[in-house]
Amino acid sequence: MGADIAVFPEMWQIGYELCPRDDPGRASWQARAIATDDFFVTQFRDLAAELNMAILITYLQKWENAPRNTATLFDRKGEHVLTYAKVHTCDFEGEAALSPGTAFVAEDLDFGSAQLRVGVMICFDREFPESARALMLEGAEIILVPNACYLEPERLSQVRVRAFENMVGIAMANYAESGVSGGAEADFNGHGFNGHSAAYSGIVCDEDGRALNQELVEADTTETIALASFDLDKLRAYRSREIWGDAYRKPKSYQPLLATSIHPTFARRDSRRHASPTAANGST
């Protein structure tokens, strides 16, 4: 079909099955975690080289203390580009059993005739503006987003806004409405998964300021392969002339963003805000 990059939904290896609450179930779930050199992962490395296309594959990664919700990107030659672990784990539900990542990384991806700088964020990461902003500051031009939740208009709008405010393209892959293989039939709000994988160009106006629709594709609720085409030349020209992204930011005024204190309104007993990081993350 001519794709340059294939993006899978979140934790594809186990169909985003969450950790059971009982001890035996938790032990069994953790035992399903795999290393980055496990056959499940390396078969996609080999497919990337065979098919001459980049692949972002997702899985439950074996890690010290507790597994990580991880995505690994291979380039068209099957070379490792980056491995990213989800920073914003959903600690209010089964993802409290995960080790969160600690950093957002962007790396260059070689397409032969061109290079593209890509970053990754996973599902709940997109609900925090800092995730996409950090990737933009790392130079990301396209952000890949494995996802596993009910995508109502508000959550789709989040992704659209992340693309707009950072002048980055975003491609997000979600599970279809029919459920997922691991049996996680509903998210924490009781909704099933509902497809609507989507991609946004990050370009919201032309050179004369006329508004453009940045939606490249929005899939329906069924199982499908959704294709989106990004015009990198247009995106780069747009980023070089327009006002968003890093052009007019005032970082010296953003010190509260680094504070670890929390307003009482947002205090949650299950938050790991004050806990020491349990896992190192980055390009490995």
For 105-147, how does the pLDDT look when each residue is reduced to its tens digit (9 = 90+)?
A: 999 999 877 899 999 999 999 999 999 999 999 999 999 999 9
Q: Is the dihedral of CA 78, 102, 20, 196 positive or negative?
A: negative
**Is the per-residue pLDDT at 236 higher than 90?**
yes
- How do residues 96-110 score in pLDDT, each as one tens digit? 999 999 999 999 999
Asked whether residue 128 is assigned to any structural domain, the reply reads yes
Asked whether residue 283 is assigned to any structural domain, the reply reads no
Asked whether residue 140 is assigned to any structural domain, the reply reads yes
Asked whether residue 276 is assigned to any structural domain, the reply reads no
Asked whether residue 117 is assigned to any structural domain, the reply reads yes
Q: Can you tell me the mean pLDDT for 263-269?
A: 89
**Is the per-residue pLDDT at 93 higher than 90?**
no
Asked whether residue 235 is assigned to any structural domain, the reply reads yes
- Write down the pLDDT at residue 284: 40
- Write down the pLDDT at residue 282: 43
Number of structural domains (the chain) is 1
- Give this prediction's pTM: 0.91
Asked whether residue 74 is assigned to any structural domain, the reply reads yes
State the average pLDDT for the chain. 91
Q: Can you tell me the mean pLDDT for 148-173?
A: 96
Asked whether residue 278 is assigned to any structural domain, the reply reads no
Residue numbers of the domain that contains 102:
5-266
Break the chain down into helix, strand, coil percent, rounded to 5: 25, 20, 55
- How do residues 41-70 score in pLDDT, each as one tens digit? 999 999 999 999 999 999 999 999 899 999
Contact predicate 76/248, CB 8 Å: no
The fraction of the chain above a pLDDT of 70, given in percent, is 91
167 Cβ neighbours under 8 A, 6+ residues apart = 136, 202, 203, 235, 238, 239, 242, 244, 245
More confident residue, 206 or 185: 206
CATH of the domain at 195: 3.60.110.10
- Write down the pLDDT at residue 192: 73
